[in-house]
A = this chain, B = another copy of it.
Amino acid sequence: MTPERTRVASQPNDTEGRAEVASTGATAMPLPPPAAMRTVSVDVHYGDFRAVKDVSLGFARNEITALIGPSGCGKSTMLRCLNRMNDLIPAARVRGEVFFNDRNIYDPGVDPVEVRRKVGMVFQKPNPFSKSIYENVAWGAKINGFKGSKKDMDDLVERALTRAALWGEVKDKLGESGYSLSGGQQQRLCIARAVAPSPEVLLMDEPCSALDPIATLRIEELMLDLKEDYTIIIVTHNMQQAARVSDMTAFFNVDLDGQGHRTGYLVEFSPTAQLFTSPREKDTEDYITGRFG
């Protein structure tokens, strides 16, 4: 795997020139930062039907990668492959390889619990634990065998909350329930919680879809801050959001077969500005300009 490959969104089924364009793009660009995660020909099946087909993507370290596309295109499914949250859905099976620091996380020897420790996740709706704000942040570290003193834990909690731009708002009420916060604050608490056990990658599944525009902007700003330390992969159905925050954008589309099953596939994986101003693929262009259906 050369570094160039990490930016290549190749679709073996469709070789008319997409791979060519992609690799041209890669050589024209400066060398990308090393990929923190990458997927190689990932398929996801739900029961008998294929929900996502043949996705190869590279997620560069300290960049934000956005996955966008119409509903049913498998972008969320894809995201959940990256920390084996799909294991929780009994019918879901993942084929292909997902590398985290060059280790395939679907190897039989790999413990999904450990994967999730390294690859944190923030969910669609803010979901704080029904504990105090402090406990919310501390718990992740505790179960991961945090060995420091009470003072160390206090520091860790403060650091995580500061990182999530929430410390100032909650430092005087760490003992209150996480639910006492507003929606946007709750989501930032969830980010602090995800950050506390020091993951390397943060997955975010439509983290702002339950928030109002002001809280949304605040989370977006936070993501841009966080990418200094983390590799962030975000799913959003808000194109504008992807445009605003991400460095790279992957556009997924969906095929309907005769039985009404939807199969998502990767259409284009480009630097965000390029994808939203001059996308390589006609499907992308149609989607972002609303000529679609």
Contact = CB atoms under 8 A, between A and B. Distances in A.
Interface string A272-293: 0000000000000000001011
Contact of A213 (B70, B212, B213): B70
Contacts of A212: 70-71, 237
Nearest to A215: B71
A183 B237 CA distance: 15
Nearest to A291: B217
A90 to B, nearest CB: 25
Interface residues of A, number: 15
A261 interface: no
A120 to B, nearest CB: 26
A237 B218 contact: no
A26 interface: no
Given A70-B212, A212-B70, A212-B71, A290 B237 contact: no
Interface in A168-211: 183
Contact of A240 (B214, B217, B240, B292): B240
A70 B214 contact: yes
B293 A218 contact: yes
Interface string A229-265: 0000000011110000000000000000000000000
A212 B72 CA distance: 10
B71 A293 contact: no
A238 B238 CA distance: 11
Contacts of A237: 212-213
Interface in A23-74: 70-71
A71 B217 CA distance: 14
Interface string A66-89: 000011000000000000000000
A96 to B, nearest CB: 26
A208 to B, nearest CB: 12
Given A70-B213, A71-B212, A212-B237, 12 more contacts: A70-B212, A70-B214, A71-B183, A71-B214, A213-B237, A213-B238, A213-B239, A214-B292, A214-B293, A217-B290, A218-B293, A240-B240
The 10 tightest CB contacts between A and B, nearest first, are A71-B212, A217-B290, A70-B214, A212-B237, A70-B212, A214-B292, A214-B293, A213-B237, A213-B239, A240-B240
